[in-house]
Amino acid sequence: METMWISSEQLDRAAQLLQSKAVVAFPTETVYGLGADATSSQAIRGIYQAKGRPSDNPLIVHIAQRSQLMELTTHVPPKAQQLMDQFWPGPLTIILNVKRQAVAPEVTAGLSTIAIRMPDHPIALNLIAQAGRPIAAPSANTSGKPSPTTAQHVMDDLDGKIAAIVDGGETGVGLESTVIDLTSDVPTILRPGGVSAEAIMSCIGPVEVTSGDKQSSAPKSPGMKYRHYSPDQPVWIVETDWSDVVAKLLKKGEKIGILASDDVLSQFQTEAVATYSLGAQSDVTQASQLLYSGLRALDKTEATIILVQAHPKTGLGVAYMNRLEKASSQC
């Protein structure tokens, strides 16, 4: 199939495609999503197929208005309400009990719960509203690859496999939403993301945080057990000892690609075969926005190993390091 490139002025065409059960990529404030009608099994199977995604990994359902909630869930607990008041639209996905037959069974992968989010992006909100139905959307990458933060990234992975891409430029946050489960006794963060645990706790009090460890046999958030966010080349995380690491790798004959802030890059202009800037020193917001783009860019170079700068694990740094650790693990 020919993948259509749709501008933000032609959202009605994208909405019509969604209504006709086609799969359409669109920008959100986190990463590009791969959308389809959440009420149609046929449409949802198109998502799994295009991404090569295992069918036991459920999808997030995106809505444009709060009024759509009651079509999807039987109960919105008070803490969910508080979180929605504070963080929606925004990078927070909330897991609630699913209403029977509200969505195609493939969306929830057989779970009794459903992940719901209202994205903070005018194109996403308009598109969902115009389509007039809840839109299931995982990140619009081939399974296992870094999530796309531009329409071109989506094209690189899925050209010919989906009906259309709506081009909305670069996404803002750059990492996926935080996923929080409100069906357990204590609210549990299943995936760190665009809204920090600190911000969530100041809204609703104590929360648990799971490691999302892919070794665990029965992960609560099924997606966390798969290899994720990875370019083809090995990725190493570097904290401070840049000179030592670079020297050792050069001795072994590796060709080094570096993804780091400008001050680090300026020290290794001759040693590295390729570099990509994560912006100013210690700006984790900017580093998060550029991380996936940088992994994709360096993966296309002659580098045989990619070195990436670590950040402290606080605030957005928790999500940044979570994605980076997944990209660097070799299983």
Binding site for ligand TXA (CB under 6 A): 28, 30-31, 33, 57-60, 91, 93, 95, 108, 111, 113-115, 117, 119, 137-139, 176-177, 179, 190-191, 220-224
Distance CA 51, CA 157 (A): 9
Residue 62 in marked binding region: yes
Residue 117 in marked binding region: yes
User: Considering CB distances under 5 to 8 angstroms, the limit depending on partner class, which of Mg ion, ligand TXA, none binds residue 179?
Assistant: ligand TXA
Residue 53 in marked binding region: yes
SS3 of 157, please? helix
Omega cis (within 30) before 89? yes
Residue 153 in marked binding region: no
x/- letters, 129..158, toward Mg ion (CB under 5 A) = ----------x-------------------
Name the residue nearer to ligand TXA (CB basis): 79 or 255: 79
**Per CB under 5 A, 28 contacts Mg ion:** no
What's the min distance (Å) between Cβ of 220 and Mg ion? Answer: 16
Tokens 């998502």: give the residue. 47
What's the min distance (Å) between Cβ of 163 and ligand TXA? Answer: 17
- Would you give the end-to-end CA distance of the chain in angstroms? 33
SS3 of 119, please? coil
Q: What's the burial of 32, exposed, middle or buried (CB within 10 Å: 0-12/13-18/19+)? A: buried
Which single residue brings its beta carbon nearest to Mg ion? 139
Residue 177 in marked binding region: yes
What's the min distance (Å) between Cβ of 141 and Mg ion? Answer: 6
Name the residue nearer to ligand TXA (CB basis): 191 or 311: 191
User: Considering CB distances under 5 to 8 angstroms, the limit depending on partner class, which of ligand TXA, Mg ion, none binds residue 28?
Assistant: ligand TXA
**Per CB under 5 A, 309 contacts Mg ion:** no
What's the min distance (Å) between Cβ of 41 and ligand TXA? Answer: 16
Distance CA 47, CA 197 (A): 30
What residues contact 206, with CB distance under 8 A and at least 6 apart?
A: 186, 187
Q: Are the C-beta atoms of 94 and 116 separated by less than 8 Å?
A: yes
Residue 202 in marked binding region: no
Q: Are the C-beta atoms of 220 and 181 separated by less than 8 Å?
A: yes
Residue 113 in marked binding region: yes
What residues contact 37, with CB distance under 8 A and at least 6 apart?
A: 18, 19, 21, 43, 44, 131, 133, 134, 135, 136
Query: Which residues sit at the interface with Mg ion, rule CB under 5 A?
Result: 139
Q: Please give the annotated binding residues for L-threonine, written as ranges.
A: 30, 62, 117, 137, 177
